[in-house]
Structure 1
Amino acid sequence: MKNKFIHSSDNELLMLINDRNPHAFTELYNRYKKPLLIYAYQKLENKQEAEDVVSELFIKLWNDSQSIILQGEFRYYVFKMLKNRILNQISSSQRVHVFVESLSHFSNTHQNDTDFLIREKQFDVEIDNYLNRFSDRQKQMVKMRIEGYKNPEIAEELGMSEKTVRNQYSSIVKSIKTKFGSILFF
């Protein structure tokens, strides 16, 4: 059977599609499918995405044919429609990519934060266990230094000479560096 729409113009076919003529739609589809696919593939560089965009375009064309008002030739309209769909596809892909990157970054950051917190807690426990080998007075001295006290203030508070504070603190720091030197930076 010969196609009776082969000599019909695009605009005539569109008018027939408005009347829900599937044969007119098939003719228009056959005329534009290949050039639209080529254009979409050139822009998207993905065969499946190009086919999806063109298929969606024709579905929209069928569904919205009654609201289409042409101001010029159909081919310009359909290529502009495709261009907009491609831009939407690219924009959507970029949003997804940005979202995935953001999620990945958040996940890595969150994972790193969690790992860091666990290691920090373990390290604190190790330091506390190690400091337990020192006298209460020496532990107090370390605590005061961490809190920002100077040697003269520590000496006065603990009833020691400043030289004793300096020597004992130095000895404690040396001991800690020997035990945890690869981890700590003094």
Structure 2
Amino acid sequence: MSYRTLEDNELLDLVKLSDGKAFDEVYQRYWRKLYALAYYHLKDSSEAEDVVQEIFVSLWASRERTNIRSLYAYLATATKYAVFSHFSQPAGKTTSLESLMNSQDVTLSPADSRLLEREIRDEISKLPEKCRLVFRYSREEGLCNKSISEKLNISTKAVEKHITRALRQLRVQLKHFIFFW
């Protein structure tokens, strides 16, 4: 059987059955595109490679329980969120959720994009008030921790804890979309 001639959904069915050769074909088919997407945002070859590696490790680890409709859209979205996760690290750069959602590097169907954005917005709205405020100031307005602490009259450490709590809650609640966090 030639795996190169199989459609993505056929490959996914085989991957679910732990077919290593089908997984290798998925990897060969998409690793360059995902690497380019990660590198475009991260500007670091090693970090981009790490992101792509994590995505494929997670895909293999969750192969039996995933329900993916569009393989490339799923992998590209996972890459975008891995980049988002990288930027959300305290020592890393910050970026807004909007800029990642509206990136032109990945084309999701309008319905999938709206659904994903709605899920994220809903989860952010469920955060405790101060945590939500800190998260929005940090991620949507791009304020640094010191500015947020001054604006809300809380310590910088409290700002960091709120951001960590928000990201942890988002990862848990959105795990069906963001399988690798």
| TM-score in terms of structure 2 length | 0.49
Higher fraction of helix: 1
Q: Which has the higher contact order (CA 8 A, sep 6+)?
A: 2
